[in-house]
Amino acid sequence: MTTINRPVDGPYRITTEPIPTGVILDVEAFVQGVVTDVVELLLTDEFADRLDGLYDMQARNPHLIERPGDLPFEGLVDDLVGAVRTKLPVYGRQCGRLAERLLVLSLAGQLRSLADRRHATAAQRAEGGAAA
């Protein structure tokens, strides 16, 4: 059974946490898979050689101007992102549970925000009235 703060329990667990401006989605299980992908890729010849090249470049001239396409670190990051999982699947009833949880948390956050604004407005009026 899925709990309130974990509306999705597979294939990757997603937990939710309300914040004043919206919702935090915790996708730790998904990120674990992405990091696993990255480490596995770095163990291959292609990416291991490029990582070694980055180590060698650390002593380079820091004032050297390079075009974005020439930046080895950014290029490696872009290529790794292109090679690892980037989509988080949510299936069947879990889609509905996630949508319901996001709606509940979003509406609760909006209500808290509205209440906070009303409280701040009332406090300003009270301060202004006292100063008059």
Q: pLDDT tens, 66-96?
A: 665 566 777 777 888 888 877 777 877 888 8
Average pLDDT rounded to a whole number, residues 34-48: 89
Average pLDDT rounded to a whole number, residues 103-116: 85
Average pLDDT rounded to a whole number, residues 36-46: 89
Give percent helix, percent strand, percent coil of the chain, each to the nearest 5. 65, 10, 30
- Integer-rounded Cα Rg, in Å, for the chain is 24
- Per residue, what are the HEC states of 82-121? HHCCCCCCCCHHHHHHHHHHHHHHHHHHHHHHHHHHHHHH
Average pLDDT rounded to a whole number, residues 18-22: 75
Confidence bin at 58 (pLDDT 50/70/90):
low
Structure-token pair, residue 54:
């980055």
Beta bridge partners of 23: 18
pLDDT at 111: 85
pLDDT at 23: 76
Measured distance CA(112)–CA(119) in Å, rounded: 10
Q: What is the pTM of this model?
A: 0.56
pLDDT over 70 (residue 4): no
Contacts of 122 (CB under 8 A, 6+ apart): none
pLDDT at 14: 86
Which residue's entry shows tokens 């609760």? 108
Mean pLDDT of the chain: 79
Least confident range from 41-50, 56-65, 75-84, 108-117: namely 56-65
First-to-final CA distance of the chain: 59
pLDDT at 60: 65
